[in-house]
Chains A and B, each alone.
Chain A
Amino acid sequence: MTAPAVTEGVAKPTFSGAPWRERAEEALIPPLVALLVALICGDLLILSYGQSPAAVYRLLLEGTWGNAYGFGQVLYKATTLAFTGLAVSFGLRAGLFNIGAESQLAAGGFAAALTGLALPVGTPLILALPLCMIAAGMAGGVVGSVPAYLKTRFGAHEVIVTIMLNFIVLALLNWFIAGHLHVPETLHTPEIHAGVVPRLSDISARFHGSAANLALVVAVVVAGAVWFYLFRARGGYDLRAVGLQPAAAEYGGISVGRVWLRALTLSGMIAGMGGINYVLGYKHYYEDGFASGAGFMGIAVALVGRNHPIGVLLAAFFFATLSQGGLAIHAFVPKQMMDVLQGVVILAVAVSVPEVRRILRGARRKSDV
């Protein structure tokens, strides 16, 4: 790009706009390349089963985006993944790997259920929902703050601590449910008294039977809040600085330890709030093991979404589609094929991000000369 001449006085310089285009290119092209790679791998897999890729993909689309029920299921699955993906990406922005979204999500769901049980029947949603959400967020935040504290105080690595905490927290919850709170013959709590989030099918009958609910809106609002915090708030400036260059952040007067503490606690809160999707929106009780896998999937969602809230929402939608699509095509190819494709996408993104960036920058440098 050409350097604009130094402006006289304090006139606003004319921005070439190039940085935005550059950033958009670097954000969008790698996932698209990864998707292409995954599609090709999918073709080969389907062919190896003796099926027609075109027919299977058509089926996949029909079963997911093609009808209201399938689409609703995609949205439902995407909602939980959006929460855990946002949680993991928030930690990564501070340079921290939160592997604990799994147990934070479960703890959040449990706390939401307890709150819903504790509230009297007939508590209006406008009051019950915030209370349940706060409880869910607090529970996730508490779980998230433990590794943060251990890291800042003793230098314990957050990956180890969050993984171990998954076992501890999930076992504790299992003990609570199995030992104290379950409805006989089941592993879930009684139904909550208040805080039921309306389903999409309550609004439009076309979504009948799907679990999609308005927790989806909460996920989008949280994504907006995360975006605002990261890119507009002073806290986000500090957080991203710590994640990019801790030494420079320290030089800039930012307390690295305090940022870590804040980042992992908030990350846990976001994951915890994800618990409302299942508990308040779908089943209306906490069931042992409801979160199974969604926390770990959040890592993939954050990776593919490039740690950007909008990217995370899109990635959550994409992974939810694959997951739901697996059910739609099960008659022709095993649904596990979708797991393979997820793996391919993750690998392809991991490889294509640095590669594509290198190629893009190389091409730009050439065009500059």
Chain B
Amino acid sequence: MTGRPAPTGTAAPRATSGVPAIRMVGIEKSFGAIMANLGASLEVMPGEIHALVGENGAGKSTLMRILGGLMKPDAGRVEVNGRDVTGWSTNDAIAAGIGIVHQHFMLVPTLSVAENLVLGCEPKTRGVVLDYNRAAEDVRKLSADTGLVIAPERLISDLSVGEAQRVEILKVLFRGAKILVLDEPTAVLSPPEVRELWTVLRRLRDNGDTIVLITHRLDEVVELSDTITVMRAGQTVARIKTSETTPAEIARLMVGREVSLSAGKRVQPIARPTDVRADQGLEVRDLCITGSHGVRVIDGISFSAKPGEILGIAGVEGNGQTELVEALAGLRTVSSGHILIDGAEITRKSVAVRHDAGLSHIPEDRQRRGLIMEYSVADNLILGLQKDFAKRGVIESDRVMENAVEEISAFDIRPANPVLAVRALSGGNQQKVVVAREIGREFSVLLASQPTRGVDVGAIEFIHKQLLEARAKGKAILLVSAELNEVLALSDRIAVMYRGKFAVVMPAAEASEEVLGEYMIGTKKGNAA
């Protein structure tokens, strides 16, 4: 076997042909009530680097899974090199030269690079024994052809993240891939490793391979790609030449709104309560968090949110917002730094202690974190407050029910039935349960993470009103949202997160989508106050 067997199937002569390497039209795919793809399309020409961008949940991964044969679309048509392959299997996809490099590595850590590469198609001596030398030779040859240099005899467990990713790419090339799909390849890489990857990808393209790059980092898109497809809410909203667009335009297409918020819609500063001590509210000093793979996901952040203030955090998702909120809430270990609530250090304290110290938290993923889906509305309304509703170890169901009836009517949760399982509620009403619980109790600092994600317009308005009321009552609020206009409309000050740091912190009055957008995509770096 040579390093790169010719792809089977009907590979058209590339670059010269006008037939797209990938053509997906009208793709629809739903999971239960969730529409992941809803008329998505993608057209990739042979020999180009094509960026597929969109926010988390826009449907990029689903689209690529359909391309790779991992899923079958409910509707639509998939063509590869002009051949209709709708609903094919993973084996068909591999045979036709499609190689997907997943975000999470799928390598056997106890085997060597060469052994991982030949896994499943091992060269054998007399049909039995693995011909190790030949495997190593094949790998070395492929390395030389592509510029993906790596010693074939090294163990996977000894490799750095960047090297492991190189092996992943080599693996799909080894299987004869001519169309490469890379899912968020830079998420775990350091900047030099990213530059190296770019060099390799350009070289592969120049060799005639086709590359689809899934990402939501716009600087990468602009730097590397030839063409861009933008997805939003399961749909393809644009296909543009990279040379004919700007990061700001891509950002607008991704977020989907060109609403310029009038100044009148912004919140007005409120008179601070006079009896506030200097240390009240939330304070964070030099916070660092190390994620998996030893990458700094939060890299030395300091800020404070004072009583009666909403500090908004904007940024493209995946720049450390999730990790920051989890660390503040006590759900993620901090490497260094300090977190204080009303002057009390809580950096290493448990969730329960933080709760008692006055921390309230609307988590970004209500169905996984914020609610117990099989529990009733009433039981969910006391999650985190169990000990206040229990006497000598027994839950006082009368009080639980009273509390539920009150919150249900105060927060207009429908249907107004406290014994109904939360699972049976709509997304908006589920979120109202979370908001009712977290705002309805005693607290001084509120972490509101994506508080209106996936809820209907009416509920959005209601939740915004609740946040502003809490602010008026002198609560300190940290609002993290992927919705720029939400951050702009509610915040007193706005910080932009970029790669684990605050790119800038500015008063909301000076902020606009355009200004924030440049910090979000990293083209402008400011002085994080």
Contacts and interface: CB of A to CB of B under 8 A. Distances in A.
A273 B421 CA distance: 35
B439 interface: no
Interface residues of B, number: 42
A369 interface: no
Interface stretch (B36-44, B266-274, B383-391, B493-501): B383-391
A367 to B, nearest CB: 14
Interface in A226-276: 232-235, 237-238, 240-241, 244-245, 247-255
Contact of A244 (B372, B389, B414, B420): B372
A235 B390 CA distance: 10
B384 A244 contact: no
A241 B394 contact: no
Interface stretch (A6-14, A215-223, A339-347): A6-14
A10 B409 contact: yes
Interface in A9-26: 9-13, 15-16, 19-20
A6 B405 CA distance: 10
B351 A253 contact: yes
B496 to A, nearest CB: 27
Interface centre among A2, A8, A12, A253, by most B CB within 10 Å? A253
B369 A251 contact: yes
B350 interface: yes
A253 B414 CA distance: 27
Given A10-B409, A16-B417, A245 B372 contact: yes
B420 A251 contact: no
B337 interface: no
B151 interface: no
Given A4-B417, A6-B409, A255-B350, A247 B368 contact: yes
B374 interface: yes
A253 B384 contact: yes
A3 to B, nearest CB: 3
A36 B486 CA distance: 56
Contact of B395 (A6, A233, A247, A253): A233
B348 to A, nearest CB: 15
Interface in B350-373: 350-352, 355, 361, 363, 368-373
A52 B250 CA distance: 76
A5 B416 CA distance: 7
B379 interface: yes
A248 B371 contact: yes
A159 to B, nearest CB: 23
B372 A9 contact: no
Given A9-B409, A16-B417, A253-B352, A244 B386 contact: no
In terms of DSSP, what is the predominant structure of the interface of chain A? loop
A245 B373 contact: yes
Interface of B is mostly: mixed
Interface in B372-426: 372-376, 379, 383-384, 386-387, 389-390, 393-395, 397, 402, 405-406, 408-409, 412, 414-421
B389 to A, nearest CB: 8
Contacts, number: 105
A353 to B, nearest CB: 14
Given A5-B416, A12-B405, A237 B331 contact: no
Interface string B143-165: 00000000000000000000000
Contacts of A10: 402, 405-406, 409
B386 A237 contact: yes
Contacts of A13: 405, 408, 416-418
B515 to A, nearest CB: 34
A2 B394 CA distance: 33
B329 interface: yes
A1 interface: yes
Nearest to B351: A253
Contacts of B369: 247-248, 250-251
A252 B386 contact: yes
Contacts of A4: 415-417
B404 to A, nearest CB: 9
Contacts of A15: 417, 419
Interface residues of A, number: 36
A13 B407 CA distance: 12
B394 A234 contact: yes
B449 to A, nearest CB: 11
B421 A251 contact: no
Nearest to A241: B372
Interface string B310-331: 0000000000000000000101
A244 B395 contact: no
Contacts of B352: 253-255
A237 B379 contact: yes
B423 to A, nearest CB: 10
A358 B472 CA distance: 46
Contacts of A252: 351, 383-384, 386
A19 B421 contact: yes
A232 B400 CA distance: 11
A150 B363 CA distance: 31
A234 to B, nearest CB: 4
Which of A11, A15, A240, A251 has most chain B Cβ within 10 Å?
A: A251
A249 B383 CA distance: 8
Contacts of A234: 386-387, 389-390, 393-395
A3 B416 contact: yes
Contacts of B418: 13
Nearest to B413: A6
Contacts of B402: 10
B31 to A, nearest CB: 15
A244 B373 contact: yes
B19 to A, nearest CB: 43
Contacts of B387: 234
A19 B409 contact: no
Nearest to A14: B417
Contacts of B372: 241, 244-245, 248-249
Most chain B CB neighbours (cut-off 10 Å) among A8, A16, A234, A248: A248
B363 A251 contact: yes
A251 B331 contact: yes
A1 B352 CA distance: 37
Contact of A19 (B355, B370, B414, B420): B420
Given A3-B414, A13-B417, A248-B383, A232 B368 contact: no
25 contacts: A1-B415, A2-B415, A3-B416, A5-B416, A6-B412, A7-B405, A9-B409, A10-B406, A11-B405, A12-B405, A13-B417, A19-B419, A234-B386, A234-B387, A234-B395, A237-B395, A240-B375, A241-B375, A241-B383, A245-B368, A250-B369, A252-B383, A253-B355, A253-B384, A254-B352
7 closest residue pairs by CB, A with B: A3-B415, A253-B352, A234-B390, A252-B383, A252-B384, A253-B351, A251-B369
Interface of A: 1-13, 15-16, 19-20, 232-235, 237-238, 240-241, 244-245, 247-255
Given A3-B416, A234-B389, A234-B393, 18 more contacts: A6-B409, A10-B402, A13-B408, A13-B418, A15-B417, A19-B376, A19-B419, A19-B420, A244-B375, A247-B368, A248-B370, A248-B372, A251-B329, A251-B331, A251-B384, A253-B384, A253-B386, A255-B352
